[in-house]
A and B are shown apart, each in its own frame.
Chain A
């Protein structure tokens, strides 16, 4: 039995047979492990972020609670737990209480589809636990990544309803920004991921990782353009700096969670950092080969995939913190410009190009002319778009400043 022959990967082999208590136990164990892992890593992530940002500011950062301040998050959590739980008089109480869970639960669930281990480079990503062969992920639904997209859309409701139900103006402004921003960037995110489906031919995260390992991580098809689009859109989706207009401490006093306190605020905070981790994990899964990597030792060989996975996720987390320490917040129109006029067209164009190449491959057409024609068509489209945008802007400016020749040139990305 070779690895290639047995690639019937759509279903976790653990669940293909009869259901007996041992299998249920293994599934429960996986759930508990994933849950704990996520919570602990959130705790460490918050500490790591504060420490690294402090390093980049020439400060020390949390240093009192535990060695190197590593227990600071725990102390903050305990403090928040004992704070007074305020519900504003003018709030919609039911939705106000519901909203934190709407952001927290999707953050937990997304992590379920991420394969965090399993030998993909020489095997088929299956590990053997207690005599049962299984994937090292909580679930591998055939619709895998669509599940991620669906849940991240639900998370938008958490933010939006939190701001709306607070009955206060800053949260409302924050939630309006949040819904506009997250919906626009979800489109770019989805188009970037669509290229991944197209290349790997599957929606299951396990199969996507397997196809990347087989195909040199699909660097040409997905590794550059969709990856970069995914990174930018993902940062915006997470409301991380430089796209944190939703929270914008200086303008909106915390945005959607201004009115939240105590445990409910902690839940938002938890969800936010959990989303950072799950987004990094999804990016690693979709673009960087997930847990794939060389197995360096024979004994404890199962540790290496987990190690490579953690290392890749860690690199992403570092970059998220680095972004936060470096970049100033975008203006709202810049944010919308970047989303609608740059990311979505680029992701869409690349998706169509890869699709055209696939069709050409299927039909036996020569690939190079197809690609050239595709690029030419897209260049024409881009020229039309840029022309239309700049014409419309020139007309707007002429309307706004009719008597001045030296009308101010608007800032922005283009």
Chain B
């Protein structure tokens, strides 16, 4: 009768909870470190973090980043250092969201938001320019472009905080801030619950705010 046991299974399933999310209407919460479209961050004083070093362009496996650096104008510097990103373009028809650019960036200038629901009606729209990528000069929030479907929380946690796989995200640095502050948010607090699984685990539990 094993052949017929399946009927009970399928009958029982009718009364169970559905696993489907009705996607455009409901959305599942996104993971904190989801790789979405990039943002270019600013320091708390409004200066751009990008120094135009082109390391991101060099490391990009999809060759989707185009950067040209330029010397900072002495009377009106764009970034704190000697150079700044004069041209910065990312082609989202090529980007694979691997985040190697974020890993490579020495100043945490380029990081990723959680936005991935965006579409274009022509190819040139897919190439994001620096104006579109850099965060707003007054609020520090990513720009919400008309063809992007931003959801609450997508533009949170876009700083160096999200570099989980970089040395500063190492579990043995749990609770230690190793990223710079940014415009609009200040210095982000470390994540709660990133446990050190070593022998000297703090019995009080994970450190954090």
Contacts and interface: CB of A to CB of B under 8 A. Distances in A.
Interface of A: 52, 55-60, 63, 322, 325-327
A58 B22 CA distance: 13
B20 A59 contact: yes
A327 B16 contact: no
Given A326-B6, A326-B7, A327-B6, A55 B22 contact: no
A58 B7 CA distance: 15
Given A60-B22, A63-B22, A322 B17 contact: no
Contacts of A327: 3, 6
B14 A59 contact: no
Contacts of B17: 58
Given A322-B7, A327-B6, A56 B22 contact: no
B7 A57 contact: no
B13 interface: yes
16 contacts: A52-B14, A56-B11, A56-B14, A58-B17, A58-B18, A59-B18, A59-B20, A63-B22, A322-B7, A322-B10, A325-B10, A326-B6, A326-B7, A326-B9, A326-B10, A327-B3
Contacts of B3: 327
Contacts of B199: none
B19 interface: yes
Contacts of B22: 60, 63
Contacts of A52: 14
Given A58-B16, A58-B18, A58-B20, 11 more contacts: A56-B10, A56-B11, A56-B13, A56-B14, A58-B19, A60-B20, A322-B11, A326-B7, A326-B9, A327-B3, A327-B6
Nearest to B3: A327
Nearest to A325: B10
Of the four ranges (under 10, 10 to 19, 20 to 34, 35 or more), the interface on chain B belongs to 10 to 19
Listed from nearest, the 7 A-B pairs whose CB atoms lie closest are A56-B10, A326-B6, A60-B20, A55-B14, A326-B10, A325-B10, A58-B19
Contacts of A56: 10-11, 13-14
B7 A59 contact: no
A58 to B, nearest CB: 5
B24 to A, nearest CB: 10
A52 B19 CA distance: 15
B6 A59 contact: no
B112 to A, nearest CB: 31
A317 to B, nearest CB: 15
A327 B14 CA distance: 16
Interface string B7-38: 10111011011111010000000000000000
Interface in B49-103: none
A60 B17 CA distance: 10
A389 to B, nearest CB: 21
A377 to B, nearest CB: 30
A135 B108 CA distance: 83
Nearest to A53: B10
A52 B11 CA distance: 10
A53 to B, nearest CB: 9
A326 B22 CA distance: 25
Contacts of A58: 13, 16-20
Contacts of A326: 6-7, 9-10
Q: Give the interface centre of A52, A56, A322, A326 by most chain B CB atoms within 10 Å.
A: A326
Nearest to B6: A326
A57 B10 CA distance: 7
A59 B10 contact: no
Nearest to B13: A56
Contacts of A60: 18, 20, 22
Contacts of B18: 58-60
A395 B194 CA distance: 68
Given A326-B6, A327-B6, A59 B11 contact: no
Contacts of B20: 58-60
Interface string B149-192: 00000000000000000000000000000000000000000000
Nearest to A328: B6
A25 B18 CA distance: 50
Contacts of A55: 13-14
Contacts of B9: 326
B1 to A, nearest CB: 13
A91 B174 CA distance: 70
A49 to B, nearest CB: 13
A322 B13 CA distance: 11
A63 B6 CA distance: 27
A63 B9 CA distance: 24
B13 A57 contact: yes
Contacts of B6: 326-327
Nearest to A63: B22
Contacts of B11: 56, 322
Contacts of B10: 56, 322, 325-326
Nearest to B14: A55
Contacts of A325: 10
Contacts of B7: 322, 326
